[in-house]
Amino acid sequence: MAIGWIVIAVLIILLFVTIFKTQDALFIFALLKKYGFLFVAIFGVLFICFSFYHIYKTYDVDFTNFDGIVRGGKLYLLWFKSLFVNFGNITGYAVKQDWILNSNVTKVAKTSNSINITKAPNLGKK
């Protein structure tokens, strides 16, 4: 586990050194354009490795036999499916929100023991 954190720390330090050493954003964008697929592939492999490690530690999966590998694969796919379901739920919740300010917004004025709801003023619109 400690080796994973050391690798992450070294990668973050290398990223910061590269960004501050070059001080040229165009160079960084050129690198991303040239090696973009490689960066995505490395990120994907690291994501899969760390997520398998998470499943291994959380559910104590035994990868020494075939049944353990199948169980681990099923747990990983269920975890991955729940990840997308949660993203879908969050996106659906955000889409259902009323993000547009309506001109007929009601103003809530709180009085001593009751709430009076009145129309908002027209604010100069004719």
Query: What confidence score (pLDDT) does residue 4 get?
Result: 75
Query: What confidence score (pLDDT) does residue 66 get?
Result: 92
The string of DSSP codes covering the chain is: -HHHHHHHHHHHHHHHHHHHHH--HHHHHHHHHHHHHHHHHHHHHHHHHHHHHHHHHHHT--TTSHHHHHHHHHHHHHHHHHHHHHHHHHHHHHHHS--SPPTTPEEEEE-SSSEEEEEPP-TT--
Query: What confidence score (pLDDT) does residue 36 get?
Result: 87
Whole-prediction pTM value? Answer: 0.49
**pLDDT tens column, 46-104:** 988 888 888 888 888 888 899 988 998 899 899 889 989 999 999 999 888 877 765 55
Query: What confidence score (pLDDT) does residue 122 get?
Result: 57
Query: What confidence score (pLDDT) does residue 43 get?
Result: 92
Residue 118 has pLDDT above 70, yes or no: no
